[in-house]
Structure 1
Amino acid sequence: MDTFTFSKSFLNEKRNIGDPLADALIAYAFADVERKKELFDWMNGLSTNQDLQNVSPEKQTLVASIVSLPNWVDEKQMKQGAAFFGNHAAEIMNLLGLLSLPYCYTAANGAMVLYLSARMRNDAPKRLKETADFVWAIMSPVAFTKQGNGFVALLKVRLMHAAVRHYTYLNTAWKTGEYGVPINQEDMAGTNLSFSFIVIKGLRKLGYILNQKEKLSFMHLWNVIGNSMGVEQALLPNDLKQAVLLESAIKSDQFKPSTHGKELTASLIEHIKKTAGPKIDTAEITGLMNHLLGDEVAQMLGINAIKLADYKLSLLKVNSFFKEISLNDDPMFNYNAAFRAYQKQISITN
């Protein structure tokens, strides 16, 4: 990205662009019952990135846009970004629910898509598990090797987004002139930031001390992911200064209170409460959300929270310190250990 400015007119232009390659494949497949079935059967049969070789002609352009990485990609930084995730996987996964997702709900026009689909309101556990599974897939140290499934995960999400766009247009409640294209470039850029730059900010608020190399490598990995997700390069910040400016511009352009944003947040809080059980109450969940999001964003989402006690914030920071000094030097070991802990937690809560 060469520009350091993100004007309202620039962002408005991006709100009218979706994902042309994925949208074209969905339009082609959904125009015929047999083609639609074939597409879903193919997607369900995908397991590893190796399965994306020798695809049928109508799928080739989209698949190539996912697996063919641009020349600015730095594989060393990608590996460092994956290692960073492995070192902080438990905290990052918690931040997705406590920070990243509610952050996205504040973008009222973009959140309308989720609200109309009703998936987050009516089946929050499944929606959150899908998001978690996606993140685990693309953050593995072997995600983008032949044996990994990172490219497969990205393809499935792109096609799911395109299918959501297709059906959202059929909903009379959707007003393209007001909301823009469903899951448009600005919204996708904001989501990418919420999983990268906003997570970095969240870790710092939890007391983690991050060096510049760690932050930039994690951002770079998410830029690579964003590129494969169909986000335009002009919306992928290549340093922290650009990330700050882009985040601020999107926030100014899209963040506002909305009924659907508040309902989505309430559903999320209820799910977190059920998952956590009696060991943490609603006041602590909303207090932590408020601490991470900041008062302004929390108020837009209707989060009525009391301030977390100083001693609880201190405990978070102490825990962060001991976690950092006990890390293993093997990225795959850290990733696998964190993933096993996640699976164990999922089995307990289910």
Structure 2
Amino acid sequence: MSPYRSEILDAVARQRNRPARLLHAYGLALLIFGAGVLLRVVLDNLVPGQLPFITFFPAVLLATFYGGLGAGLLVLVLSAFVGTYWADPTGGSSTVYYVFKFLLFVVLAGLSVIPVHFLMQALARLKQQDDQLGVINRELKHRIKNLFSIANSVCQQTIKSGKPLDEMPNAISGRLLAIASAQDLLSATALSGAQVDELVGALVATLAPDPTRLKAEGAAVTLSAQATTPFALILHELGTNALKYGAWSHDTGHVKTSWEVRQEILYFQWREHDGPAIAPPLHAGLGSTLIKNSLPGAIVSHDLKADGLECTIQLPLENE
């Protein structure tokens, strides 16, 4: 499972547990408030009638720090009422006196809640950024490992394919550049990969002798991150073969690519027209092997027709 997908599942689980977390936060806030009241009772025996709000200021701060803004405001209001009563429990003072004490505590304690709240938000953002960086690092390590594995396999197969030595550097370089082009279309944390039209534009349109000799049409389809690189290799092989031996090696030849999605399956077709006559090879070369075997789970047909190559790909799409 992708580390980034795992993080999203964790976020969903945290969202589902939100009521329990709120209950815990407000329960803790009430315990802190109760401790403040208890401590105030103890102090009342030592300094009776003095400093009625002294134990409620730290109670509000602690509730905000451990329970969040909502819990802090709850303790703030409760403390304001209890502290105001404690200022004169006999009830002999005027209403203005009680209102003044109540508002004074709310203002002073509220001013202390604000910096604590913003401090907690800053700490939460820093933790979230650290978590995201950790996910990105793990995803990059996973992706780099896969890229080295793919690049190594491509290099090994190209060397073993029996190509002439003077063609070997260009063949390896072209395939590695195809892999690099696919990575340009991926972000470090994307669950999905590149869109098909983006890959066609980056890997096929750049090879066409003339823009009018390539026709590409299809709906917006996004591949998975795992399928993007092998699909890019296939497009590179098809484009390179068309340029060297197929439709684009002939003055009038052209290529049509089209794709659509039916029942969560991508149907992609590569069709060459008006190219030179090509005899079927006696054995499959590396290019055709890459085209047929690069995409796990895909059904690939690779046939030479009378007027050019036809390649069709049926690729199940992942539900991201």
TM-score range, shorter chain: under 0.3
- In terms of fraction of residues, the more helix-rich structure is 1
| Rg larger in structure | 2
TM-score (norm 2): 0.25
TM-score normalised by structure 1 residue count: 0.23
**Which structure is richer in relative contact order (CA contacts within 8 A, separation 6 or more)?**
1
